[in-house]
Amino acid sequence: MANNLSLKDLISAKRLSCYKNINEHFDNLIFISKITPKIATIEICVRNIFDMYQPKDWIINSQDNEILKQVQIIQHRYGNDSINHEQYLSNLTLGQVVYLVKQSGLNHSVFFDNIDNIDFKKYCSLNINYYKNIKGEKTKLSNQQKMKIILSLLVDIRNRSYHWENILKTKINDNNPDKVFPRISTNIKNTTIGIMPDKINVFLDDVLDMINVDIKQFLNI
């Protein structure tokens, strides 16, 4: 029966409406497949780095309501089986870990080396490396703020990719059709930082370098 269905039916008209054509849909999936090892490696590293700075069995002993909800979900998933700390840890999503990192106040240097050198304009010409304070004065983004931006962008890339969304798509300003904005973006201090589709790979490579310069050799980069 499936062979009698059109590609439009199999993939869904609604999903295909997000693309110029069906070729772009598959180009998007192929691109996601190429960056997945990088996303996965970064996620694993961030999770394990955070874990290193926590007390023993911190997940099961957590007082955070969001983590307690996840603990219950994990316990239900495993049934009556004994669950060790590594299993709890591996079942936390990147979004949950990033939420914990931001709550913890851990220093940026714990996760990323040379973060001071990062220039967000590298990933989109519309980006800036400052925000305006309450007096309207330009204030350089701190390294701690840069860490939060990087982590938020990683979560956006990860979630959009693993839900097979069109990460090659951009946004057009209705008031200025010539101005193109990235869909992958985050906001801090009323300042939006985004990544254009053709810079996603560059961004992921830079993040890997800030974690450990030797990692990329295993990803055939």
179-221 tens-digit pLDDT: 888 999 999 999 999 999 999 999 999 999 999 999 999 987 6
Where in the sequence is the domain holding 23, given as residue range(s)?
19-53+106-219
- Residue 166 in domain: yes
- Residue 177 in domain: yes
Q: How far apart are CA 171 and CA 153, in angstroms?
A: 16
- Residue 168 in domain: yes
pTM of the model: 0.92
- Residue 47 in domain: yes
C-alpha to C-alpha distances, 128 to 60, 122, 183, nearest whole angstrom: 40, 10, 16
Higher pLDDT, 5 or 159: 159
- Residue 194 in domain: yes
Instruction: Give the model confidence (pLDDT) of 98-139 as tens digits.
Output: 999 999 999 999 999 999 999 999 999 999 999 988 888 999
Token look-up 């001071």 returns: 116
The two tokens of residue 5 are 């269905």
